[in-house]
C-alpha cells in the first residue's frame, strides 16, 4: 500500500526578504505577503476538498504560522517535528547575511564546494543536513504507512528530498531548485515496488498563487 507525502514550503518570511539567517532566533515569522500566500493555499485546499490523515510542521516560526492556515483548511491539528527544520545555522542564527560572511570569511562562498563544512560554528553542513532531513522524511513515511501525510517545511528540506531520491549526494555537484513559497511537492512511496520505491507526483505546484504579482526567488541563506 502506497503512502503519499506532501511537502509544503512555508510562506514568504521576514528572514527571506531581510535577509537574516533564520534559525530559531532569527526567524520572526511570515511577511504580510507570506500570510496572503498561506491564505490562498488554504482557500485552494478547501475548494478542492483536499483530505489528509495527518499534518506535521517544522518547529520554526515561519513554518508554524503557515501550518495554522493549512490546519484550518484540513481540520487537522499540527504535529511538531523538529526534523523538518531548515539547515541549522548554529552561531550564525539571527545574523544578517552580511554579518555571517564577515564573521566567517570565505565560508559563505565556499560552503557548497565543501559539503562537510559547517554553516557556522555549531551549525550543520550540507552533508549532515541531507542526512538529517532524509532520515526525518523516511521516519514520517514509516510512521504512517498507507496514509496521506502533509508536512509544512522549508525549501532546503524539499530540495533534500529531490537530491536524495535522484542520487545527488553531498559530494556531487549541487543542483538548486527554485521553489515557490507555499509551493507543494508530492511524493508517493510504495515499499512493494519492484524498482524505485519513490514516485515524484508533482513538484512546486503553486497554482494558487497565480493571482499574485511575481515574487523574487524567496531564497535567503537559510530558507
Residue 10 is assigned to a ligand binding site? yes
Provide the 8-state DSSP code for 49. T
Residue 21 three-state SS:
coil
Residue 36 is assigned to a ligand binding site? no
Residue 106 is assigned to a ligand binding site? no
Q: How far apart are CA 61 and CA 56, in angstroms?
A: 13
Of 4, 10, 83, 189, catalytic: 10
> Side by side, which strands form the sheet with 54-57?
78-80, 54-57, 148-153, 3-9, 184-189, 198-205
Residue 132 is assigned to a ligand binding site? no
154 catalytically annotated: no
Residue 113 is assigned to a ligand binding site? yes
Residue 125 is assigned to a ligand binding site? no
The per-residue DSSP string of 173-220 comes to PP------TT-EEEEEE-TT-SS-SEEEEEEEE-GGGTTSPPP-----
Residue written as grid cell 490562498: 40
Say if residues 6 and 147 touch (Cβ distance below 8 Å). no
Residue 16 is assigned to a ligand binding site? yes
Of 86, 124, 154, 208, catalytic: 86
Residue 9 is assigned to a ligand binding site? yes
Residue 62 is assigned to a ligand binding site? yes
86 catalytically annotated: yes
List the binding residues for substrate. 9-16, 62, 113-114
Give the residue numbers annotated as catalytic, written as ranges: 10, 86
Residue ranges at the known binding site: 9-16, 62, 113-114
Amino acid at each position: 500500500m502506497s503512502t503519499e507525502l506532501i511537502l509544503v514550503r512555508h510562506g514568504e518570511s521576514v528572514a527571506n526578504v531581510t535577509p537574516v539567517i533564520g534559525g530559531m532566533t532569527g526567524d520572526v515569522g511570515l511577511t504580510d505577503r507570506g500570510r496572503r500566500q498561506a491564505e490562498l493555499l488554504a482557500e485552494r485546499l478547501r475548494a478542492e476538498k483536499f483530505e489528509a490523515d495527518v499534518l506535521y510542521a517544522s518547529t520554526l516560526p515561519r513554518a508554524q504560522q503557515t501550518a495554522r492556515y493549512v490546519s484550518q483548511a484540513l481540520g487537522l491539528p499540527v504535529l511538531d517535528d523538529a526534523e523538518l527544520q531548515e539547515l541549522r545555522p548554529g552561531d550564525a542564527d539571527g545574523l544578517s547575511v552580511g554579518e555571517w560572511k564577515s564573521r566567517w570569511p570565505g565560508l559563505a562562498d565556499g560552503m557548497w564546494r565543501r559539503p562537510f563544512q559547517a554553516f557556522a560554528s555549531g551549525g550543520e553542513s550540507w552533508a549532515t543536513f541531507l542526512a538529517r532531513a532524509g532520515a526525518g522524511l523516511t521516519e514520517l513515511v514509516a510512521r504512517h504507512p498507507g496514509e496521506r501525510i502533509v508536512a509544512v517545511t522549508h525549501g532546503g528540506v524539499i530540495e533534500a528530498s529531490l537530491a536524495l531520491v535522484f542520487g545527488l549526494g553531498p559530494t556531487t555537484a549541487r543542483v538548486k531548485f527554485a521553489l515557490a513559497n507555499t509551493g507543494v511537492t508530492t511524493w508517493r512511496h510504495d515499499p512493494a515496488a519492484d524498482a524505485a520505491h519513490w514516485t515524484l507526483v508533482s513538484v512546486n505546484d503553486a497554482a494558487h498563487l497565480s493571482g499574485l504579482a511575481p515574487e523574487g526567488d524567496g531564497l535567503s541563506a537559510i530558507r
